[in-house]
Protein backbone atom coordinates (compact mmCIF):
# COMPACT_ATOMS: atom_id res chain seq x y z
CA UNK A 1 0.00 0.00 0.00
CA UNK A 2 1.29 3.42 -0.93
CA UNK A 3 2.08 5.52 2.11
CA UNK A 4 1.61 9.01 0.80
CA UNK A 5 -1.64 10.30 2.28
CA UNK A 6 0.24 12.99 4.21
CA UNK A 7 3.12 13.56 1.80
CA UNK A 8 4.43 17.12 1.78
CA UNK A 9 2.66 18.05 4.99
CA UNK A 10 4.01 19.20 8.32
CA UNK A 11 2.19 17.74 11.30
CA UNK A 12 2.67 18.77 14.94
CA UNK A 13 1.88 16.18 17.61
CA UNK A 14 1.88 17.00 21.33
CA UNK A 15 2.50 14.50 24.09
CA UNK A 16 4.45 12.61 21.47
CA UNK A 17 7.31 10.99 23.35
CA UNK A 18 5.59 7.76 24.29
CA UNK A 19 2.40 5.75 24.16
CA UNK A 20 -0.42 6.90 21.94
CA UNK A 21 1.40 10.08 20.89
CA UNK A 22 4.44 8.14 19.71
CA UNK A 23 2.20 5.83 17.70
CA UNK A 24 0.52 8.84 16.08
CA UNK A 25 3.92 10.31 15.19
CA UNK A 26 5.04 7.06 13.59
CA UNK A 27 1.79 6.58 11.69
CA UNK A 28 1.82 10.12 10.26
CA UNK A 29 5.50 9.89 9.31
CA UNK A 30 4.92 6.58 7.56
CA UNK A 31 2.27 8.32 5.47
CA UNK A 32 4.89 10.79 4.23
CA UNK A 33 4.50 13.68 6.68
CA UNK A 34 7.22 15.72 8.26
CA UNK A 35 6.31 15.30 11.91
CA UNK A 36 7.23 17.68 14.70
CA UNK A 37 7.03 15.52 17.82
CA UNK A 38 6.69 17.62 20.97
CA UNK A 39 6.73 16.77 24.65
CA UNK A 40 8.33 17.64 27.99
CA UNK A 41 9.92 14.17 28.15
CA UNK A 42 13.01 15.18 26.25
CA UNK A 43 15.02 11.97 26.53
CA UNK A 44 12.16 9.79 25.33
CA UNK A 45 11.25 12.29 22.60
CA UNK A 46 14.78 12.47 21.24
CA UNK A 47 15.02 8.69 21.30
CA UNK A 48 11.79 8.39 19.33
CA UNK A 49 12.98 10.85 16.68
CA UNK A 50 16.30 9.02 16.29
CA UNK A 51 14.57 5.65 16.06
CA UNK A 52 12.08 6.75 13.41
CA UNK A 53 14.80 8.68 11.59
CA UNK A 54 16.65 5.40 11.33
CA UNK A 55 13.71 4.10 9.30
CA UNK A 56 14.13 7.00 6.89
CA UNK A 57 11.19 8.92 8.34
CA UNK A 58 11.18 12.70 8.80
CA UNK A 59 10.60 13.21 12.52
CA UNK A 60 11.97 16.10 14.55
CA UNK A 61 11.66 16.42 18.31
CA UNK A 62 10.98 19.76 20.04
CA UNK A 63 10.56 20.45 23.74
CA UNK A 64 7.08 21.86 24.37
CA UNK A 65 5.08 22.39 27.54
CA UNK A 66 1.58 22.71 26.10
CA UNK A 67 0.48 24.90 29.00
CA UNK A 68 3.17 27.49 28.15
CA UNK A 69 2.14 30.27 25.79
CA UNK A 70 5.83 31.08 25.34
CA UNK A 71 6.70 27.53 24.28
CA UNK A 72 3.94 27.61 21.68
CA UNK A 73 5.14 30.98 20.38
CA UNK A 74 8.68 29.64 20.04
CA UNK A 75 7.46 26.58 18.17
CA UNK A 76 5.35 28.67 15.79
CA UNK A 77 8.28 31.00 15.11
CA UNK A 78 10.39 28.02 14.04
CA UNK A 79 7.88 26.83 11.43
CA UNK A 80 6.73 28.31 8.14
CA UNK A 81 3.67 26.19 7.45
CA UNK A 82 1.67 23.62 9.42
CA UNK A 83 -0.93 21.31 7.88
CA UNK A 84 -2.00 19.36 10.93
CA UNK A 85 -2.09 19.64 14.71
CA UNK A 86 -2.75 16.68 16.97
CA UNK A 87 -3.49 17.86 20.50
CA UNK A 88 -2.64 14.58 22.15
CA UNK A 89 -0.94 15.75 25.37
CA UNK A 90 -2.88 14.92 28.48
CA UNK A 91 -2.48 14.10 32.14
CA UNK A 92 -4.61 11.91 34.37
CA UNK A 93 -5.75 13.49 37.63
CA UNK A 94 -7.66 10.72 39.36
CA UNK A 95 -8.86 12.38 42.59
CA UNK A 96 -12.60 12.24 43.21
CA UNK A 97 -15.05 15.09 43.78
CA UNK A 98 -14.60 15.46 47.50
CA UNK A 99 -10.82 15.27 47.56
CA UNK A 100 -9.46 16.89 44.40
CA UNK A 101 -7.10 19.75 45.21
CA UNK A 102 -7.36 23.05 43.40
CA UNK A 103 -3.79 22.86 42.10
CA UNK A 104 -4.47 19.47 40.53
CA UNK A 105 -7.78 20.69 39.09
CA UNK A 106 -6.03 23.67 37.50
CA UNK A 107 -3.20 21.51 36.18
CA UNK A 108 -5.66 19.12 34.51
CA UNK A 109 -7.28 22.02 32.68
CA UNK A 110 -3.92 23.65 31.86
CA UNK A 111 -2.69 20.56 30.03
CA UNK A 112 -5.86 18.86 28.79
CA UNK A 113 -7.82 21.91 27.67
CA UNK A 114 -5.80 25.12 27.68
CA UNK A 115 -2.91 23.37 25.96
CA UNK A 116 -5.14 22.63 22.99
CA UNK A 117 -6.42 26.22 22.92
CA UNK A 118 -2.89 27.63 22.92
CA UNK A 119 -1.85 25.25 20.17
CA UNK A 120 -4.77 26.26 18.00
CA UNK A 121 -4.10 29.95 18.58
CA UNK A 122 -0.38 29.61 17.84
CA UNK A 123 -0.48 27.37 14.79
CA UNK A 124 -3.65 28.14 12.87
CA UNK A 125 -2.09 31.34 11.44
CA UNK A 126 0.37 28.99 9.71
CA UNK A 127 -2.31 26.64 8.37
CA UNK A 128 -3.38 26.74 4.72
CA UNK A 129 -6.74 25.58 3.40
CA UNK A 130 -7.12 21.84 3.81
CA UNK A 131 -5.42 21.67 7.19
CA UNK A 132 -6.74 19.61 10.07
CA UNK A 133 -6.81 19.69 13.86
CA UNK A 134 -7.37 16.49 15.83
CA UNK A 135 -8.07 16.86 19.53
CA UNK A 136 -7.70 13.77 21.69
CA UNK A 137 -10.54 13.57 24.18
CA UNK A 138 -11.66 10.58 26.22
CA UNK A 139 -14.73 8.51 26.93
CA UNK A 140 -14.55 10.25 30.32
CA UNK A 141 -15.66 13.37 28.45
CA UNK A 142 -18.89 11.71 27.32
CA UNK A 143 -20.41 10.65 30.64
CA UNK A 144 -19.98 11.11 34.37
CA UNK A 145 -16.66 9.68 35.49
CA UNK A 146 -15.04 9.23 38.89
CA UNK A 147 -11.95 11.37 38.10
CA UNK A 148 -13.63 14.76 38.30
CA UNK A 149 -10.83 17.06 37.08
CA UNK A 150 -9.91 14.82 34.18
CA UNK A 151 -13.57 14.41 33.25
CA UNK A 152 -14.37 18.12 33.37
CA UNK A 153 -11.26 19.02 31.36
CA UNK A 154 -12.18 16.56 28.62
CA UNK A 155 -15.77 17.83 28.51
CA UNK A 156 -14.33 21.33 28.11
CA UNK A 157 -12.12 20.11 25.26
CA UNK A 158 -15.25 19.01 23.44
CA UNK A 159 -16.65 22.53 23.70
CA UNK A 160 -13.41 24.06 22.47
CA UNK A 161 -13.40 21.66 19.54
CA UNK A 162 -16.94 22.54 18.51
CA UNK A 163 -16.12 26.26 18.52
CA UNK A 164 -12.98 25.62 16.47
CA UNK A 165 -14.95 23.51 13.99
CA UNK A 166 -17.35 26.43 13.56
CA UNK A 167 -14.91 29.31 13.41
CA UNK A 168 -12.05 27.77 11.45
CA UNK A 169 -14.08 26.00 8.76
CA UNK A 170 -14.44 29.16 6.60
CA UNK A 171 -10.64 29.16 6.38
CA UNK A 172 -10.64 25.55 5.23
CA UNK A 173 -9.41 24.15 8.55
CA UNK A 174 -11.25 21.18 10.04
CA UNK A 175 -11.41 20.27 13.75
CA UNK A 176 -12.45 16.88 15.08
CA UNK A 177 -12.24 14.97 18.36
CA UNK A 178 -11.48 11.34 19.04
CA UNK A 179 -12.47 9.67 22.31
CA UNK A 180 -10.29 6.69 23.24
CA UNK A 181 -11.50 4.27 25.86
CA UNK A 182 -9.13 2.13 27.85
CA UNK A 183 -5.97 2.06 25.74
CA UNK A 184 -2.78 0.33 26.91
CA UNK A 185 -0.38 3.26 27.37
CA UNK A 186 2.09 4.49 30.01
CA UNK A 187 -0.62 6.91 31.14
CA UNK A 188 -2.80 3.98 32.16
CA UNK A 189 0.00 1.90 33.68
CA UNK A 190 -0.52 3.61 37.05
CA UNK A 191 -4.30 3.16 37.05
CA UNK A 192 -5.94 1.36 39.95
CA UNK A 193 -6.35 -2.33 39.01
CA UNK A 194 -9.90 -2.21 40.36
CA UNK A 195 -10.69 0.59 37.89
CA UNK A 196 -9.10 -1.37 35.06
CA UNK A 197 -11.08 -4.52 35.78
CA UNK A 198 -14.34 -2.59 36.13
CA UNK A 199 -13.75 -0.59 32.95
CA UNK A 200 -12.96 -3.66 30.88
CA UNK A 201 -15.99 -5.48 32.29
CA UNK A 202 -18.11 -2.65 30.85
CA UNK A 203 -16.37 -2.76 27.47
CA UNK A 204 -18.44 -4.90 25.08
CA UNK A 205 -15.33 -6.12 23.25
CA UNK A 206 -13.97 -7.21 26.61
CA UNK A 207 -10.40 -6.02 26.22
CA UNK A 208 -8.17 -2.98 26.23
CA UNK A 209 -7.36 -1.21 23.01
CA UNK A 210 -3.89 -0.60 21.61
CA UNK A 211 -2.23 2.57 20.37
CA UNK A 212 -2.10 1.07 16.89
CA UNK A 213 -5.88 0.95 16.89
CA UNK A 214 -6.05 4.69 17.56
CA UNK A 215 -3.29 6.10 15.33
CA UNK A 216 -4.88 5.12 11.97
CA UNK A 217 -7.97 7.16 12.84
CA UNK A 218 -5.80 10.19 13.54
CA UNK A 219 -4.07 9.77 10.17
CA UNK A 220 -7.45 9.52 8.44
CA UNK A 221 -8.69 12.73 10.07
CA UNK A 222 -5.49 14.52 9.08
CA UNK A 223 -5.80 13.39 5.47
CA UNK A 224 -7.89 14.60 2.54
CA UNK A 225 -9.98 11.43 2.85
CA UNK A 226 -11.72 13.24 5.72
CA UNK A 227 -12.11 16.52 3.83
CA UNK A 228 -15.80 16.86 4.75
CA UNK A 229 -15.48 15.57 8.31
CA UNK A 230 -15.63 18.57 10.65
CA UNK A 231 -16.87 18.84 14.21
CA UNK A 232 -17.13 15.08 14.56
CA UNK A 233 -16.59 13.09 17.73
CA UNK A 234 -15.44 9.52 17.18
CA UNK A 235 -15.03 6.91 19.89
CA UNK A 236 -12.28 4.28 19.86
CA UNK A 237 -13.41 2.35 22.88
CA UNK A 238 -14.57 -1.17 22.06
CA UNK A 239 -18.19 -0.06 22.48
CA UNK A 240 -17.76 1.28 26.03
CA UNK A 241 -19.67 4.52 25.45
CA UNK A 242 -22.39 2.93 23.33
CA UNK A 243 -24.45 1.14 25.96
CA UNK A 244 -24.97 3.86 28.59
CA UNK A 245 -24.47 1.45 31.46
CA UNK A 246 -26.68 -1.33 30.08
CA UNK A 247 -23.67 -3.64 29.95
CA UNK A 248 -23.97 -4.01 33.72
CA UNK A 249 -27.51 -5.29 33.19
CA UNK A 250 -26.50 -7.74 30.48
CA UNK A 251 -23.64 -8.94 32.68
CA UNK A 252 -26.13 -9.61 35.49
CA UNK A 253 -28.54 -11.40 33.17
CA UNK A 254 -25.75 -13.53 31.70
CA UNK A 255 -24.76 -14.59 35.22
CA UNK A 256 -28.23 -15.98 36.00
How many degrees, rounded to 5, is the angle at CA 77 between CA 74 and CA 81?
130
Comparing C-alpha atoms, which of 137, 146, 189, 203 is closest to residue 164?
Answer: 137
Q: 35 φ, ψ to 5°?
A: -110, 130
Contact yes or no for 49/73 (Cβ under 8 A): no
The answer to whether 140 and 113 have CB atoms below 8 angstroms apart is no
Among 61, 150, 220, 240, which one carries the catalytic annotation?
A: 150
Is position 150 annotated as part of the catalytic site? yes
Which sequence positions are flagged as catalytic?
150
Amino acid sequence: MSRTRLAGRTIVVTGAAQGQGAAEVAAAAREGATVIATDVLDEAGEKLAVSLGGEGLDVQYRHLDVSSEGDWADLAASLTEVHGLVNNAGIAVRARLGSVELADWNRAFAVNTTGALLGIQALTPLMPTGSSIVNVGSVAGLTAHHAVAYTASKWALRGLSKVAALELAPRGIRTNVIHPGYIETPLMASANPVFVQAHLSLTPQGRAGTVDEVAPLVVYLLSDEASYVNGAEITVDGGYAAHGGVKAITNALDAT
